[in-house]
Amino acid sequence: MNYLASIGSYALMIVEIFRKPTKWPIMRSLILKEIDELIYGSMGIIIFISFFIGGVVAIQTALNISNPLIPKNLIGFATRQSVILEFAPTFTSIIMAGKVGSYITSSIGTMRVTEQIDALEVMGVNSLNYLVFPKIIAMLLYPFVVAIAMYIGILGGWIAGVFGGFSSSADFVEGLQLDFTPFHVTYSFVKSIVFAFVIATVPSFHGYYMKGGALEVGKAATVSFVWTSVVIIVMNYILTQLLLG
């Protein structure tokens, strides 16, 4: 019953976020602030991880090709498919759930503990709209982060494959172009938009409705990371069945 109650509270929170919006001049500054902290601030770790993930996929694919009859362009093909379909949208989202999600939960949870949210409500401000809506809008830019992760991941695979001596540049590029389906990129972007909404709202839910003191803020951040990751994995399965099944 606790899970059902939490799901109901989450749904009510989503509805409340879009009621009684904050004035645009204030909201604009909040959105720009969240874009800087949630999107721009995460680019470094995303680029770093994507580069090495692409390289690892290329190396592992090359090392598992023991049959000389299998063409070398399979390395580029496998790297492209792995990065575009799963690693860029899903693995990146798990990283974002840890980095961005923990930040969202701890920042809102601290405001709850220090009664800043109560002060907003007393002043007649819709605190959910004020705190959560800018994060949702900022995370709409998340597909651009995923696009960069795709590019960097494939670049990392090309560097690892070519400079590691596993494949020639021509074979790798030929594999990248082999049986390319543009809808796979669309599928990845659709997933990233759904994941972005999850990353913005699930940690906000745990931070907004937390109870206790400063110690509970850390516990709420841990719980929010776990549940955000669970929701991302479940939604990944559902979207894959709907879009590719």
Give the integer Cα–Cα distance in Å for 165 and 159.
Answer: 10
pLDDT at 19: 86
50 within 8 A of 87, measured Cβ to Cβ: yes
pLDDT in tens, 183-210: 999 999 999 999 999 999 999 999 998 8
Q: Choose among 27, 214, 195, 238: nearest CA to 101.
A: 195
Q: What is the domain range of residue 209?
A: 23-244
Cα Rg for the chain, rounded, in angstroms? 21
The average pLDDT across 118-126 equals 86
Assess if residue 236 is contained within a domain. Answer: yes
The DSSP output letter for 166 is S
Assess if residue 1 is contained within a domain. Answer: no
Assess if residue 18 is contained within a domain. Answer: no
Assess if residue 4 is contained within a domain. Answer: no
Assess if residue 6 is contained within a domain. Answer: no
Q: Choose among 170, 63, 166, 45: nearest CA to 102.
A: 45
pLDDT at 1 over 60: no
List the helix and strand counts (H, then E) for the chain. 12, 0
Q: How many domains does the chain have?
A: 1
Give the integer Cα–Cα distance in Å for 51 and 141.
Answer: 20
Assess if residue 2 is contained within a domain. Answer: no
207 within 8 A of 108, measured Cβ to Cβ: yes
10 vs 23, 201, 203, 207, CA distance in Å?
A: 24, 8, 11, 12
Give the integer Cα–Cα distance in Å for 206 and 220.
Answer: 6
Assess if residue 74 is contained within a domain. Answer: yes
Q: Choose among 39, 9, 12, 16: nearest CA to 206.
A: 9
pLDDT in tens, 168-183: 888 888 988 888 888 9
